[in-house]
Structure 1
């Protein structure tokens, strides 16, 4: 039995395989990715769907250049591999202690939406709750359903998946 997979083109700025890689040795997969190597972690449903945002809707928000804050709650090493432009990276574990960074980025724009993204849409849901519990009272706080994996599947097939 054989399985064929399609690999994406090498990107010159990639920190693993690019022209100037900064990751040059093997790493602990589970620690790096935050999930087991089988990657069969089930999708979580921690918040109601009305507090979530589909990739298609977020694509329209980006296209219309509507002001918002995109908070990426993946670990820095994952963020360094790939991220959506203009996103603020604060890992989920650090978010309660670094909530001031979010408030600073929002400034006086108290009605500016905050959208939270992670790899698969599981860590972004508790991040929404953390923001709400720490007094982020923008017009809306939502997470991106399916995370960056769904973004790559539905919106941007050239966006790296790991």
Structure 2
């Protein structure tokens, strides 16, 4: 490996008479060459954290994808759906998630919220992204009338795939 260092020309260092003002110079110093020798001293590498560990540390619920999707009786392949975010602002719950390893032409996401004996749901379109279908558009639910602990479930359905997230309990 060769490292080239270029030195700018046009100024010289301090004069011998003590004046520290740079003065123009017509001297060309050229390029210096340096050789980099790999060190044999081992370096420490910080421990790697899996995406699932980092997501759980951030307070986002996770579920490991299954290694083999199941088939349904209607010809739709079962897929893993993960609820990745949710929040409540002024009595409205907003949520979103992903369908892991699936990129369909179109699909529908449904967020269902239940509390005690009542429930509400919202449906919105899934959006394609690199390697996943993203759920979030239109998944806003007015929580008026829903009291106590909430249970959130995100579902996905397309002509080829179907899936449901693990339930997530939210205390407000």
TM-score range, shorter chain: under 0.3
Compare the two structures and name the one with the higher helix fraction.
Answer: 1
Larger radius of gyration: 2
Compare the two structures and name the one with the higher strand fraction.
Answer: 2
Higher relative contact order (CA 8 A, sep 6+): 1
Using the size of structure 2 for normalisation, the TM-score is 0.20
